[in-house]
Structure 1
Amino acid sequence: MSSLRGIQQPELSKKLYKLIKTENHQVSAYETASRESQSVASQLSEWGETQDDAVSDISDKLGVLLAEIAEQEDLFAQHLEDSRGVLKQIRNTESSVQPTRNHKTKIQDEIQKLKYKEPTSPKLVTLEQELVRAEAQSLVAEAQLTNVTRQKFKEAYDLHTAAIIERAEKQIMLAQQARRLVNLLDDTPTVPGEERAPFENSEAAREVLNDAEAGLRNYSPSIEPIHSAAGRLGVNAMPGSIEQEAAQPRIMQQAEEIVQSPQQQETVGRGGQVPYYSTSETTYVAA
């Protein structure tokens, strides 16, 4: 079923659709890694219960730290899903732009066919007027696409890279505490019949867990902020309404210049207001 949805995707959005779908598998893999790692941590604690007091205490607390490290994988997967959701907004905009491109291409094909069959047909003027309007709509749609793409690309990979840093820093911090914990276990060899000294590091082991908990509670990511100038964009991924209205004549003029060629004798008529396509209400099947 998912492969069928991929086939139905507009050509413009197929590659991003594939990327988003692959990321879905990636998210699932991290979630699985988290569950498996938590299971390993739990089994370590259970095994430790069969050992002497020192190994039992250390393995139990080590299991707690390893479980917390595993939890970071699950949190990372959630952040990746958030980033993936932002990329979907680019994909949806790509999908909404494709019909505009197709419409313009269809009119161009009709004009070429008519010029070949009936070069003096009065319908050519009408088609050329339609082509100017289609070109103007295409200019708007393409501008919206590039605005959305740049804004959401930065937003998505702001989330993605920040999640990588947070996961790495927290896991490093927890792993360092785990190494402190392991270091409390005395592995001095004994000879047969010799008894080991009682474990005297229980308090130090508890302190390691307390330090780890405090570290997570007080954690602050050390990341360089990613800046954005997209705050000026309106709801339709274009600058404010005043700027949109002022741009209308320029858009139509540019569309005429694109459509006209030196060989054309007819003056292409101007159309009305150029519609701005919604970039927020269009919905598509999620990958």
Structure 2
Amino acid sequence: MSRGTATLLLLAFLAALASVAGAQPAGEYVEVDIHPSGAAFVTFYVRAEGAYALDVDLVGVPDLMLGIVAVDEKGDLLPVSYNSSSNSVSVITLNSSTVTISYVTNTVTAKYRELWLVNFTSPRPVKVLLPPNATLSGVYTSFTSLRVEKGRLLLEFPAGAVMLSYVLLPAQLPQAPPKPAETGAPTPAQPTSPPPQPAPQPAQPERGLPYLWLAVAIAAIMAAVVVAALLRLRRRVPAELSETDLEILRVLQSAGGGMFQSELGARLNLPTTTLWRRLRKLQRLGYVVVERRSGRNYIRLA
């Protein structure tokens, strides 16, 4: 991660902490707010219910350089300790009624070419907020809601596995470079005449009503887009890539882009025939390349 990206993440982390401090959740759930860099700001809303301490299993491995913050319903800091072996935290509640746990993780997303993969398991219902300009490519686990919130796609999932993919569209289309001025002899100046005076226009009607209709039309279009995407994604579950296929791509990505088939099978705990069938499918779709090295199959991302 570059220093500039880390600085932006730290600023976003601090801003998000200010927004969630003292929040009163309607129930226990998790928010995963994905940054365009692939990092995610994770927030747990948990009821303490008089418990002296809470043990919470986390989503993704937290970035300990940015820290883990726990606050109560008043926004006061609570003691928190991280257990790396179980990827969980223990929070001393100090008689709080609700606890909010926040941190940044870089382990719930992986990028393959232009495709971003999101893959994690949540112990509680979870809301996933995609980056601005993100377009869903597929949803591979059951979800309960899909909507647009503040111009960003928001998906809700029950507790359990969460897997989806998206691509980031450019913020704006590149503009054509200005046409160079033609060279040659200068054109003689033409006499100019005073501009014609505009004819008097009748009084314009109140513009508030057309603006209202425009806002209603835009809202209807956004609703239609969400409904169409929801129906399309329902039909695409399961999509051309299964959960196992995505896990193969994620493992290859984490290994630097390639590894031997035997090593991949050991990492995934898959039978040789099953793994080979999956690899042939991914090769046919153009996701991986199978090479022979020293009499062994080496699998690398295409």
Q: TM-score by structure 1 length?
A: 0.23
Higher helix share: 1
Higher strand share: 2
Q: Compare relative contact order (CA 8 Å, sep 6+) and give the higher one, 1 or 2.
A: 1
Q: Highest CA radius of gyration, 1 or 2?
A: 1
